[in-house]
Amino acid sequence: MLPVPDFLTIGHVSKDLRPDGTYTLGGTVTYAALTAQHLGLATGVITCADPNMCIELPSHLPGIALHIRPSSVTTTFINQYTEGVRIQYLCARADTFEARDVPEAWRNTPIVLLGPLAQELPTDFASLFPRRPDALIAASPQGWLRQWDADGRIWPTAWHDAPKVLSSLDVLILSYEDILSSNGNSREEADALFSEWSTMVPILVATEGRYGATLFHEGQTKQFPAYEAEEVDPTGAGDVFAAAFLIHLSKNGDPELAVEYANCVASFSVQQEGTKGIPSLSMINRAFRSQSRKE
């Protein structure tokens, strides 16, 4: 029987292509799993990738328990940033997940983060995990908010199945970027949608890069500024934030402190390329204590 991890994340790993044809390993599961591991948790990943990636992935994610279904391809993206705005192309997509891809023992993991990239998780996937007082079932839904054209250009799409998914979650974590482009860049419309969704899920957090994050909880809305950071590569910062938020919330039960903590952790991740910026626990503790003293 597979040991039950402390933290489980599910979704496609991705190849994020560089201009020279090489790639960095990406995907919510990659950034979230490494963050959880750095924070001291036994971590598991369920993913789908091509045979070569199945062989290589343990070296990319050492010490993390992997449950991989082979696919003909690995999900592959090209990410282009202009003044912090990402233009993204989907070059290849791995297979869609099925319920049988989740080991029975892992359905009792204390912290679960669903991290779809390209509509690969069925909307009823969250219901595979029983709601319990000592568990957090969460999603970062960017992959449910995407569609793509014949050229692979990613475009926003409405999340029609949101009510069905949210009824199975404890926490939803997403970015304003995921919503603004599908709402005419209207902050008011995005906030209205978040407020609506927050009535369907106990905790909703909307991240906004260098501008911090907004917590929607128990009918109240509160904004939290980001930590100062010199941005080099923002890819994955939202996924790092999500993992840090869930772990701190699980340990302390205070969503406001969890947002502050996650902002701190995410601030490190943007300062280096790819996963290199994910900080150690000691780095986080020093920065978080220092910020707390300033306040």
**Residue 293 confidence (pLDDT) above 50:** no
Q: What is residue 265's predicted lDDT score, i.e. its pLDDT? A: 95
Paired residues of 155 in beta bridges: 147
Strands 75-82 and 14-17: parallel
Sheet holding 75-82, edge to edge: 23-26, 14-17, 75-82, 85-92
**Residue 45 confidence (pLDDT) above 50:** yes
Taking only Cα atoms into account, the Rg of the chain, rounded to an integer number of angstroms, comes to 18
Please give the DSSP secondary-structure letter assigned to residue 61: S
**What percentage of the chain carries pLDDT values higher than 70?**
94
Tell me how long the chain is: 295
**Residue 79 confidence (pLDDT) above 90:** no
Among 138, 101, 146, which residue's Cα sits nearest to residue 119? 146
Q: Which two tokens stand for residue 48?
A: 């789908």
Per-residue pLDDT band for 153 (boundaries 50, 70, 90) equals very high
User: Could you report the per-residue pLDDT of 238-281, keeping only the tens digit for each?
Assistant: 999 999 999 999 999 999 999 999 999 999 988 888 788 898 88
DSSP H or E segment with residue 70: strand 65-70
Q: What is residue 181's predicted lDDT score, i.e. its pLDDT? A: 67
Q: DSSP readout, 142-182? A: GGGGEEE-TT-BEEE---TTHHHHHTT-SEEEEEHHHHHTT
Contact between 181 and 146 (Cβ < 8 Å): no
Contact between 101 and 120 (Cβ < 8 Å): no
Average of per-residue pLDDT values in the chain = 92
Q: pTM to 2 decimals? A: 0.93
Paired residues of 10 in beta bridges: 46, 114
Q: Is the dihedral of CA 21, 22, 26, 27 positive or negative?
A: positive
Q: What is residue 294's predicted lDDT score, i.e. its pLDDT? A: 45
Q: Which two tokens stand for residue 117?
A: 């990239």
**Residue 292 confidence (pLDDT) above 60:** no
Contact between 209 and 263 (Cβ < 8 Å): no
**Residue 295 confidence (pLDDT) above 50:** no
Instruction: Please report which residue ranges of the chain form alpha helices under DSSP H.
Output: 28-38, 51-60, 162-166, 176-180, 187-198, 237-252, 255-269, 281-294
What the chain holds in terms of domains, given with CATH numbers, is: 7-294 (3.40.1190.20)
Q: Within 10 Å of residue 36's Cβ, how many Cβ atoms?
A: 28
